[in-house]
Amino acid sequence: MTKLIPWRSLLFIPANNQKFIEKAHTREADGYILDLEDSIPIDHKTTTRANILAAAQVVAKSGADTLVRINAGLRLAVRDLEAIVDPQICAIVIPKVSSAAHIQLIAETIGEIEQEKQMPIGYTRLIAQIEHVEAMPKLDEIAASSPRLMAMTMGTEDLSLSIGMEPTTEALIGPCQQIIMACRRANIAPMGFPASIADFSDPAKFQAAAELANKIGFAGAPCVHPMQVKILNQVFMPTEEQIQQANELIQSFQLQYEQGTGATNFANKMIDLPVVQRAENLLKRLNR
């Protein structure tokens, strides 16, 4: 399987769930996030952390990327980092991020550990999880906080709770767009979808949410269930029809452009440069 950067799908796996870990390589996700945070009870943290590099080795059989979500509080986070900064782990998901400084302090700590472990400084990349209303006015500074940061994602359940709202598409679309726009300004990947991540009972509903995510500008999403992986991989992959249409549009544009007509038409729409570039981006994604 080819690794896609940025990822279409990132599957969360509780880092103490041996069954899930062993089956991971069959799930076809572009990456796996071994979770040390919410899915691990407080008194399991130490053992789970001790076994995490072994778990990573199992997950890695898939050929996909292995990530770890650390805990939010500094005391657990520091010990998590000392255990997991390692060549096996390509990126770390930081939960409950509400400031640029939070990321910078974590990044500095990672740098220290990379040096001690004689890894290249900067090897370990970061994903910031936005989960509190406090973070919303600071999205731009968070997105630009560190060269390690490669994506920002929304913890829809936690964020909705802190706003006092239901995690419905109608309520989430506004906050999602703010995250997407901040990511695009900082040139990092926005990941997520405007729906509850925990609702995997209805594949059609999830499919709709994923398609909307794709349309409003997300580049992929984290998920918690294998069904979600499949849908995400398919939604964030261009269709045959899209590919053909994109190829035709580009050719049509080039032809008319060379003839000097300037404003060109395709399928009864005026085509100008941005439309052509969107088609080119689509083809690039196909060839990753």
Least CB distance to a second copy at residue 8 (A): 14
Q: Give the β-pairing of 149-154 and 31-35.
A: unpaired
Does position 74 bind a second copy by CB under 8 A? yes
Does position 17 bind a second copy by CB under 8 A? yes
Q: How many residues bind a second copy (CB under 8 A)?
A: 81
Q: Which tokens sit at 238?
A: 């261009």
Least CB distance to a second copy at residue 263 (A): 4
**Contact range with a second copy by CB under 8 A, out of 55-63, 120-128, 190-198, 244-252:** 190-198
Does position 4 bind a second copy by CB under 8 A? no
Q: Which tokens sit at 131?
A: 């989960």
CA angle, corner 284, sides to 281 and 286, nearest 5? 115
The terminus-to-terminus CA distance of the chain in angstroms comes to 11
Does position 85 bind a second copy by CB under 8 A? no
Does position 101 bind a second copy by CB under 8 A? yes
Q: What is the CA radius of gyration of the chain?
A: 20
Site string for a second copy, 211-250 (x = CB under 8 A): -x--xxx-x----xx-------------------------
Side-chain half-sphere CA neighbours of 264 within 13 A: 21
Does position 277 bind a second copy by CB under 8 A? yes
Does position 25 bind a second copy by CB under 8 A? no
DSSP letter, residue 150: E
Which CB sits closer to a second copy, 1 or 54? 54
Least CB distance to a second copy at residue 52 (A): 14
Contact status, residue 109 vs residue 76, Cβ threshold 8 Å: no
Greatest Cα pair distance in the chain: 71
DSSP letter, residue 16: T
Does position 170 bind a second copy by CB under 8 A? yes
CA 33 vs CA 94, 149, 223, 276: distances in Å = 11, 16, 9, 35
Amino acid at 106: I
Which CB sits closer to a second copy, 4 or 40? 40
Does position 255 bind a second copy by CB under 8 A? no
Task: Report the distance separating Cα 124 and Cα 126, nearest Å.
Answer: 7
Least CB distance to a second copy at residue 100 (A): 7
DSSP letter, residue 28: -
Among 28, 199, 243, 252, binds a second copy (CB under 8 A): 199
Contact status, residue 211 vs residue 238, Cβ threshold 8 Å: no
**Torsion of Cα atoms, 76 then 79 then 82 then 88, to 10°:** -50
Site string for a second copy, 130-159 (x = CB under 8 A): ---xx-xx--x--------------x-xx-
Which CB sits closer to a second copy, 123 or 200? 200
Among 50, 54, 105, 286, binds a second copy (CB under 8 A): 105
Element (H, E) at 32: strand 31-35
Which CB sits closer to a second copy, 63 or 75? 75
Least CB distance to a second copy at residue 41 (A): 5
Does position 94 bind a second copy by CB under 8 A? no
